[in-house]
Structure 1
Amino acid sequence: MPSRVRSPLLLAVLVAAVVPAVLALLVPLFAAPAANLAPRDLPIAVAGPAPVADQLAGRLAAARPGAFEITTLPDAAAADRALRDREVYAAFVAGPDGVALHTAPAASPTVALLLTDVAGQLAAERPVTVVEVVPADPDDVRGAGFAAGFLPLALGGLLAGALLVLLVRTRPARLAGLAVLGVIAGPVGAAILHGWLGVIDGNWLAEAAATGLFVLAASATVAGLGALLGRPGLALGALLVFLVGNPLSAVGAAPELLPQPWGEVGQWLPVGAGATLLRSVAFFGGAGAGAPLAVLAGYALVGFALVAVAGGGPAESGAATVEPDGVAAPVR
C-alpha cells in the first residue's frame, strides 16, 4: 500500500517539476524572436545617379550600422525589377524632388512599415513618397491573415503524419496516405486562403501546389521520424515542424528581422520554407521560390524514404497476434 501511494505522488511531483521546465524553454523560444525584431543585414536597394546614391547609401549605413545589406542601382526601373524578383525588400530612390521609397509589402508588411519610418527620418521635414511596387493583398494589408491562416496548415500536416504512424499499420498504406494528403490538402488550403479568406491573390494552381507540398513535407517529416523512432520520433517531428519551426519561421515578419542565425535556420525548416514559397508564388510570380521549393521537396522525399524503409512504428509494434494456444502475443 505505501508503494502505491508513493508512486502516484512521485509521478505528480515529476510532472509538476517538468512542465515548468518545459515552459521555461518554450516561452522564450516563442516570445524572444517577436520581442527582438530589428533589421539585420536586410536586403535593400538605393537607386539614383552614382554620387547621390552613394551618399544616400552611406547615410543609411551610418544611421543603422549592420541593419542593411545595400545594393546600389542606376534608377527606379532597376529598383522595381529587384523588388519583383525578391532580391530586395525596398528601394530608396533618389530623384529631383527628394527621396521616394519603393516597397514590396507582399514580401513583408512589417518590413515595409519599418522602412517607411526610416525614410521619414532620412527626409527630415520633407514628405516621403511611398510607392507600393508589389502590394499585399488588399484584404490583408498587414499580413496578419496570411500568418494566421498559414500556421494551421502546419498543425494539420503534423497531426496527419502522427495519425498515420499511430493508426495505420502497413508501410504501403502510410505512403498512400501521405500521397493522398498532399494531393487533397493543396487545393483545400489554397481554396481557403485564396477564395474564402482572400489573403493571397496569385495563380491558384501554383498556390495549391505550394500549399500541398508544404503540408506533405510537414506530414512526411513527422511520419518518417515516427516510423523510424516510434513515439520519440513523433515528438522530434513536432519539435521540428512546429515548436521550433513556428517561432523561427518569420511568417508574420521577415527572416532578416529575427536574431541571427535563427532567422536563417528557420528558412531551413518546413514552416519557414513553406511561408516563403507561398509568398513567392502568390505575389511574385514564383520569383525567389527555388530555395524553399528545394527545402520542402527534401523534407518530403526524406520522410517518404523513412516511412518506406523504417520499422513499423507504434501501430505495428503495439499490434497483437494470436498464438495457436490462444494467447495473444505482440508482433515482433
Structure 2
Amino acid sequence: MNTIQRAVGVGVAAALLQALMLIAFAWPAAHIAPRDLPIAVSGPQAAVVADKLTQHDPDAFDISNPADEAAARAAIQNRDVYGAVITGGAPRVLVASGASPVVAQQLTAIAQQLSGAPAAPVEDVVAADPDDPRGTAFGAMVLPLVMSGIAAGVVLGLLIPSVGGKAIGLITFGIAGGLLSIVIIQTWMSVVPGPYLTLAAVAGLVSFAVSGAVVGLSTAIGRAGIGIAALTMLLVGNPFSAATSAPELLPQPWGTIGQLLPPGAAASLLRSVAFFDGAAATKPLVVLAIWAIAALVLLGVGALRGRRPAVDATPVRSGDPVAV
C-alpha cells in the first residue's frame, strides 16, 4: 500500500469514526422522552390522575400509589420515584431537580395540563444546587472525568512497563484525581454539594475504574485493548450516562446499559451522595467496584502472561549433547 492509499484509508476511517460519534452523542439527545419513568400519585383522585397519565402515553410512566403525601415525599427522598402528584382539590406536584432537572421540568408541565389552571403549585423536594439549577454543570463534569481517565490509562499502558508500576499509577491517579477534581467542583465551580471526602472517594473510584479498564485491557490483550476500552467509555458510556437527563428518558435498552458502565454509574452515585444523603447508592457503587476489581484482575492476567517462560525454539542438531 503506497502513501496515497494509506492516506485515503485513514481519511475514510476518520470519517466513519466521526459519523459514529455523531450517532452516539446526538441520537440519545434527540430521543429524550419518558419510558417507564417512576412517579407517584397519591390522594383521593389518584386513580383518576393515573388513568389520565396512562391515556396520554401508556408507556411513559411507572406509577405507584403511596398511602399519603408523607409516603410520596419519602419515596422521592429515597430515589424510588422522580416526583409525585398529590390530589385532593387542585393537584399539587412534588419534584426533585436534584435527581434530574429535565424530569422536574417535564412533571411540572404535565401538572399544569392536569390542573387546567395557568400554573399548578410545584414544590422542589430535593432541589439541585442553586448555582446549577438546570444541572448543566453537573452533566458537563462527567465527560472530563471520563476523558482524563482514558488519557491516564493510555499513558500508563504505554509508558509504564511493569504491572506493579501500572497498579501504583492507577491508585495514585485515583486518589489525586478524586481529591483535586472535587476541590475544583465544590470551591471554584460550587455546583455539587455534599461531604467533600465522600464525593472525592466517588470521583477517585470513577477515575480508577475508567483508567483501569484501559490499562487492564491493554495489559491483558495488548494495545488493541486501549482502543476497545476507550471507545466503550467514550462512545457508549458517556452519551448513555444520563448525566444530563435520566436513564428512563433514554432509548432502551441503552439507558439501562449506560448505568452498567462507569460514566452512568458515576452520575447516579454522585447524585445520590450530593443530593440524597446516599439513598440508592448501592447499585452504582457496586457497578464501579466491579469495574475496579476487573481492572485489577486484568492486570493480574497480564502479569501472569509476562511470567511465562520463553520456549526455546532452536532445533537440536544431530550430534549435539542432550541434557538428561
Q: What's the TM-score, normalizing by structure 2?
A: 0.91
| CA–CA separation in structure 2 for the residues paired with 1:242 and 1:311 | 27
Aligned to 2:50: 57
Runs of 4+ in 1 over 3 A off after TM superposition: none
Aligned to 2:94: 102
Q: What's the TM-score, normalizing by structure 1?
A: 0.89
Cα distance, 1:196 vs structure 2: 1.7
Aligned to 1:86: 79
1:15 aligns with 2:7: no
1:180 to 172, 181, 184: 172
Aligned to 2:204: 212
Cα distance, 1:244 vs structure 2: 1.4
1:179-258 paired onto structure 2 within 5 Å: 179-258=171-250
For each residue in 1:303-324, what CA deviation from the matched residue of structure 2 results, as whole angstroms up to 9, or x when unmatched? 01111221599xxxxxxxxxxx
Structure 1 residues 312 and 7: alpha-carbon distance in aligned structure 2, compared to 1, 3 A threshold: farther
1:77 aligns with 2:43: no
Q: Which moved more, 1:303-312 or 1:144-153?
A: 303-312
Structure 1 residue matching 2:191: 3-state secondary structure: coil
Amino acid at match of 2:215: A
For each residue in 1:160-204, what CA deviation from the matched residue of structure 2 results, as whole angstroms up to 9, or x when unmatched? 111111000111111111112222111111111122211111111
Cα distance, 1:19 vs structure 2: 2.1
Structure 2 residue matching 1:142: 3-state secondary structure: coil
1:34-183 paired onto structure 2 within 5 Å: 34-49=29-44, 52-96=45-89, 98-125=90-117, 127-183=119-175
Q: Considering only aligned residues, what root-mean-square deviation do their CA atoms show, in Å?
A: 1.7
Amino acid at match of 2:265: A
| CA–CA separation in structure 1 for the residues paired with 2:261 and 2:119 | 41
Amino acid at match of 1:109: P
1:264 to 256, 260, 263: 256
Extract unaligned runs of 5+ from structure 1.
1-5, 314-332
For each residue in 1:238-268, what CA deviation from the matched residue of structure 2 results, as whole angstroms up to 9, or x when unmatched? 0122221111111100110011000000000
Cα distance, 1:21 vs structure 2: 2.1
Contact 1:206 1:282 in 2 (8 A): no
For each residue in 1:207-258, what CA deviation from the matched residue of structure 2 results, as whole angstroms up to 9, or x when unmatched? 1111111111111111101111222100011012222111111110011001
Aligned to 2:271: 279
Cα distance, 1:25 vs structure 2: 2.0
Extract unaligned runs of 5+ from structure 2.
306-324
Contact 1:103 1:130 in 2 (8 A): yes
| CA–CA separation in structure 2 for the residues paired with 1:53 and 1:15 | 60
1:294 aligns with 2:286: yes
Aligned to 1:24: 19
Amino acid at match of 2:103: V
Cα distance, 1:9 vs structure 2: 1.1
| CA–CA separation in structure 2 for the residues paired with 1:277 and 1:229 | 30
Q: How many residues align?
A: 307
